[in-house]
Chains A and B, each alone.
Chain A
Amino acid sequence: MIEVLSSTALATVQDLGRFGALGWGVSHSGAMDRLALTAGNILLGNDENLAAIEIPIFPFRIRFHHSCDIVLTGADHLAWLDDVALWPWTIIHVQAGQALTIERGGPGRWQASRVYLCVAGGIDVPLALGSRSTQLRGQFGGHCGRTLQTGDRLPVGVPADAFRPAGMGIVPPALAMPLTVGDIPAIRVLRAAEYDAFTDQSCADFWAQNWKITSQSDRYGYRLAGPMIEPKYPLELRSHGIVPGVIQVPHGGQPIIQMRDAQPSGGYPKIGTVIDADLWRLGQAPIGSSVRFIEVTWAEAVTALQDVADWLEEVRRMVALGRTVQKGAVDDQ
């Protein structure tokens, strides 16, 4: 059992998402940075789809009422267990009664926004339509279908029978797979159905200019600020299915990227779609920061997905190796 001590807004319980319910109007939800959640679960020997707490606003404080093992993944922020500083992406043993504090980190190599608190055994809230992810719009899933509040007590599942040596960690994916244009973080994009309906100048600007992530950005979508994106003629589409990553351009001319809580359908014209392989990067881009878009082909987009799968496979291999080596070291004593 863990207890939320701070009333910071917008922290939610998330697993990898809820699939198969789009036809009821229920979006995928799930972790904004799926690599961080998956890697945290691998380190802990969890099923890779177990739920964690996604934390976007700091400081964040919780108390552990039972001993357990945790990993902090995602953004490299500052964290303490009572008064002991913690390494991110690393297994930590926690004693019953200890308090965890996470604060926003200073300037670093990688600017990111969301921390995942992964626990051995996972955050054991009930499944709703097959997932533990919080469905904010529908007010179900996660913890009571809402963001976490001070005093909330969250159940932890039974940990897998795995050796979890304290201090074993991995290199974050943003450092293992960097992607920038100049010094601006970059995101790869495929053209979408209405790309050719935008003016040549708008299309050129879309690829060549920086896009600022405005303060009106959240798990539903990122509203961008940059040059005006204008269609050659007014477009009024019939409502159709959309997915996280779709970049819509409403009549106001400023793009909106659909994120994990985005509605599963829409009708604004689409200039592009962020490829699935880069959604985790975007999920970590802080409000106020800028991104650049890189155009890719279908083949490049599918290959990028394979690169992500390869990175995760390497994490699984290294963690398994680390367990064997360290277990051996313990057994020798």
Chain B
Amino acid sequence: MDHDPVVSMLGTTALLLEAEGETSLETQQKIWSLSSQVSAWPDVLEAVPGMNNLMLCFRQPPFDPQPLIARLQDAWRAAKPMTVEGRTIELPVVYGGEAGPHMADVMAHTGLDARAIAEIHSAPLYPVYALGSHPGYCYLGGMDHRIATPRRKTPVLKIPGGAVSIGGFQTGVSASEGPSGWNTIGSTSMSFFDVTKQPPTLLQPGDAIRFRIERVVA
């Protein structure tokens, strides 16, 4: 029997439900299912999937949050994985060198060379689990744990759009220039967000990204 998810409060603005266990696509499909269900609840302003977790923003914070939490746990237990027929995009990546200023840190942490890191990183098909961080940014599942590298001690104030980076057991591509606590190992170019389109994002949860090695700079 699975453990109940952990629920915690994010101030009086929102609550966070975190599923137990290893990060998996099946759990994420349950998160998508729960998200679409609770979005219709009257006390929920918006439901936002993360990596095997779900944030609920309140319209008005309840004086007693326990009934809402109990209802959420019940909905989680009843939730069935929601499969999405998404599309796949391929992104050519230059790994290392100026395009990947933190490649050396990932090499030092993993004991692998740049070529091996690029090959391991570009091998899987990465499903988009969720969007977050900044407009159009995709959180991807399925990174090989051999190249997992902790987030940086202090976030970097500016990394460029197209930066391919690793943070803990996760990887992703920056959609625009901005601060980041992740390790940048390479670079690609793609427009992930257009405010004039509906929806404004290139990818949705359930779509997938494949990285292709364009070159590795040692």
Contacts and interface: CB of A to CB of B under 8 A. Distances in A.
A299 B64 CA distance: 8
A37 interface: no
A137 B178 contact: yes
A241 B134 contact: no
B9 to A, nearest CB: 6
Interface in B2-39: 6, 8-14, 16, 18, 23
A250 interface: yes
B195 A23 contact: no
Interface stretch (B74-82, B90-98, B103-111, B147-155): B147-155
B63 A264 contact: no
Contacts of B163: none
B12 A277 contact: yes
Given A23-B131, A241-B132, A250-B151, 17 more contacts: A19-B57, A24-B199, A137-B176, A137-B178, A138-B136, A138-B176, A139-B176, A192-B9, A193-B8, A238-B18, A238-B169, A241-B50, A241-B55, A298-B12, A298-B65, A301-B61, A302-B12
A302 to B, nearest CB: 5
Given A25-B132, A25-B136, A267-B168, A245 B16 contact: no
Contact of A24 (B11, B62, B65, B131): B131
B19 to A, nearest CB: 9
Contacts of A268: 151, 181
Contacts of B13: 243-245, 273, 276
19 contacts: A22-B55, A22-B57, A22-B132, A23-B49, A23-B130, A137-B135, A138-B136, A193-B6, A216-B157, A239-B170, A241-B48, A241-B132, A243-B13, A250-B153, A250-B154, A265-B133, A267-B181, A268-B181, A298-B9
B11 A25 contact: no
B176 A276 contact: no
Interface of B: 6, 8-14, 16, 18, 23, 45-55, 57, 61-63, 65, 130-137, 139, 150-155, 157, 167-170, 175-176, 178-179, 181, 193, 195, 199-201
A274 interface: yes
Nearest to A238: B51
A276 B12 contact: yes
Given A138-B135, A239-B50, A251 B12 contact: no
Interface of chain A, helix or strand or loop or mixed?
loop
Contacts of B139: 239, 265
B50 A275 contact: no
B209 to A, nearest CB: 15
Nearest to A240: B50
A106 interface: no
B140 to A, nearest CB: 10
A113 B84 CA distance: 47
Contacts of B133: 25, 239, 263-266
Contact of B11 (A220, A243, A250): A243
A264 B50 CA distance: 10
A133 B6 CA distance: 34
A252 B23 CA distance: 26
Contacts of A242: 10, 55
A25 B135 contact: yes
Most chain A CB within 10 A, of B11, B14, B16, B139, is at B11
A263 B50 CA distance: 13
A313 to B, nearest CB: 15
